[in-house]
């Protein structure tokens, strides 16, 4: 008799976005004709930069000609893209990363979800709360957790993010082996300082653990003192894998291009305690299960590193950052405590009531949709997330309505 992977039965259905949709539909029915502004979206809204579009078109034309047509490319990505990434995103910032340590993929979601395959089931896994759910659910599927009780899975070491630690988890009190981190953070918008990140790298070196560092939002960092990459920290090459994406950086959410960095010096240990490098393991995994990102998409991503492309992508992020500033200022003026909104497209707001209560208040009184923080973990209760991914006009109108509604509430 064929049996299923029973770990899938432990997964909690995510009702978050369907619950939001239900409440919005009910509101719309009760208030026909009322305009609703959605500030809950984690997806970009502006089109691709012109430099990327031009490169994309040129590459499509190459595919139409037998002289320049390309079939399967290298699974790890074309050299032209890996070299520009290594040079611009790392070496130019004193982070020692080689092109062949970069693996081009179709998304940081897939990479952060798949990476756990190269690690033992017996590892103790540390995951932040609140969290981007991919890290957690993929470890549940793999069987690294016990049952789900009171909002948490057994056998996961949850790292609480709260106002007390400025939404940057403290070093764990119990030993851990695999550590997930994301900065600038989704959902809290929090950033990590160089000093704090160095403490984590030191911890990983001392305890022989590995840090999985999700830097999908690094393009939003404008404060020069903050690290963009974990490899800007001494020693990180030996203990960290980093994930990046063109999704939020350059509007590629629908185009799909990202990369993982697995330094050749980064290692874990076999059952005899002998050092095993992770690069050949990930290379094997990646080339066995993935056949490469399409050529035109890699050319479009390469265009991000041209002079015009880098200026245009910076303008994209600046546009969303100005939205974030407007949202942050409005919520601060109303007396709410917020994190994020600077160096991040997300604003995380203490609603001074439960998450869904604040969600309902903003929907009913202002017609504005946000994301309840409780959907991201136990520690998200009481908070909401507002996203800056929207038009300036929508953001300005929404914040005006929120101000009017809450001033009279
Ligand atoms: C959006 C996002 C990503 C990017 O995912 P892609 O699959 O590259 O589109 C990665 N991590 C976090 C935390 C995100 O919010």
Domain ranges of the chain: 6-47+308-408, 52-306
Q: CB of 286 closer than 6 A to ligand 1?
A: no
Ligand 1 atom nearest residue 182's Cα = 13
The listed CATH number (3.40.718.10, 3.20.20.70, 3.90.1150.10, 3.30.465.10) that belongs to domain 6-47+308-408: 3.90.1150.10
Domain 52-306: top CATH class: alpha beta
Q: What per-residue string of b and e applies to 50-63 under the rule 16 or more CB within 10 Å gives b? A: ebbebbbeebeeee
Question: What is residue 111's DSSP assignment?
Answer: H
**Averaged over 201-213, what is the pLDDT?**
98
Q: CB of 251 closer than 6 A to ligand 1?
A: no
Residue 121 dihedral angles phi and psi, to the nearest 5°: -70, -20
Q: Per DSSP, what are the bridge partners of residue 182?
A: 214
Q: How confident is the model at residue 272 (pLDDT cuts 50, 70, 90)?
A: very high
Q: How far is the CA of 3 from the centre of ligand 1 (A)?
A: 32
**Averaged over 198-207, what is the pLDDT?**
98
Q: How confident is the model at residue 14 (pLDDT cuts 50, 70, 90)?
A: confident
pTM of model > 0.85: yes
Q: CB of 249 closer than 6 A to ligand 1?
A: no
Q: CB of 216 closer than 6 A to ligand 1?
A: yes
Q: CB of 385 closer than 6 A to ligand 1?
A: no
Sign of CA dihedral 284, 285, 289, 293: negative
* Residue-wise pLDDT tens digits, 368-379: 999 999 999 999
* Residue-wise pLDDT tens digits, 140-159: 999 999 999 999 999 999 99
Q: How far is the CA of 66 from the centre of ligand 1 (A)?
A: 36
pLDDT at 409: 64
Q: How far is the CA of 103 from the centre of ligand 1 (A)?
A: 16
* Residue-wise pLDDT tens digits, 308-353: 999 999 999 999 999 999 999 999 999 999 999 999 999 999 999 9
Q: CB of 247 closer than 6 A to ligand 1?
A: yes
* Residue-wise pLDDT tens digits, 72-83: 999 999 999 999
Rounded to the nearest integer, the mean pLDDT of the chain is 97
**Averaged over 85-103, what is the pLDDT?**
97
């Amino acid at each position: 008799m064929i049996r299923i992977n029973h770990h899938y039965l432990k997964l909690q259905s995510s009702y978050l976005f369907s619950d939001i949709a239900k409440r919005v539909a009910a509101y719309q029915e009760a208030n026909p004709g009322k305009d609703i502004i959605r500030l809950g979206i984690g997806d970009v809204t502006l089109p691709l930069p012109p430099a990327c579009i031009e490169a994309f078109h040129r590459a499509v034309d190459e595919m139409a000609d037998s002289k320049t047509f390309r079939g399967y490319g290298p699974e790890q990505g074309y050299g032209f893209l890996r070299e520009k990434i290594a040079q611009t995103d790392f070496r130019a910032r004193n982070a020692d990363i080689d092109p062949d340590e970069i693996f081009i993929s179709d998304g940081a979601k897939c990479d952060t979800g798949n990476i756990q395959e190269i690690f033992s089931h017996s590892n103790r896994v540390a995951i932040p709360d609140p969290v981007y759910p991919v890290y957690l659910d993929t470890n549940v599927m793999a069987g690294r957790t016990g049952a789900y009780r009171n909002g948490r899975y057994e056998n996961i070491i949850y790292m609480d993010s709260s106002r007390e630690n400025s939404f940057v988890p403290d070093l764990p009190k119990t030993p851990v082996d695999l550590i997930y981190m994301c900065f600038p953070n989704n959902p809290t918008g929090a950033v990590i300082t160089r000093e704090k990140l160095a403490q984590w790298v030191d911890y990983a070196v001392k305890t022989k653990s590995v840090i999985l560092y999700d830097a999908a939002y690094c393009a939003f960092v404008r404060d020069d003192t903050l690290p963009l990459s974990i490899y800007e920290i001494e020693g990180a090459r030996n203990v960290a894998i980093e994930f990046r994406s063109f999704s939020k950086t350059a509007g590629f959410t629908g185009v799909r291009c990202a990369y993982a960095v697995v330094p050749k010096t980064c290692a874990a240990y076999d059952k005899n305690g002998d050092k095993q490098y992770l690069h050949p393991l990930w290379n094997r995994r990646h080339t066995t299960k993935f056949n490469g990102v399409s050529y035109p998409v890699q050319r479009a991503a390469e265009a991000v590193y041209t002079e015009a492309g880098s200026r245009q992508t910076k303008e994209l992020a600046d546009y969303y950052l100005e939205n974030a500033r407007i949202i942050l200022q409005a919520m601060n003026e109303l007396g709410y405590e917020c994190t994020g909104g600077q160096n991040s497209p997300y604003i995380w707001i203490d609603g001074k009531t439960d998450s869904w209560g604040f969600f309902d208040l903003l929907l009913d009184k202002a017609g504005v949709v946000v994301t309840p923080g409780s959907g991201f973990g136990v520690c998200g209760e009481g908070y909401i997330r507002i996203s800056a991914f929207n038009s300036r006009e929508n953001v300005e109108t929404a914040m005006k309505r929120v101000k009017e509604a809450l001033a009279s509430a």
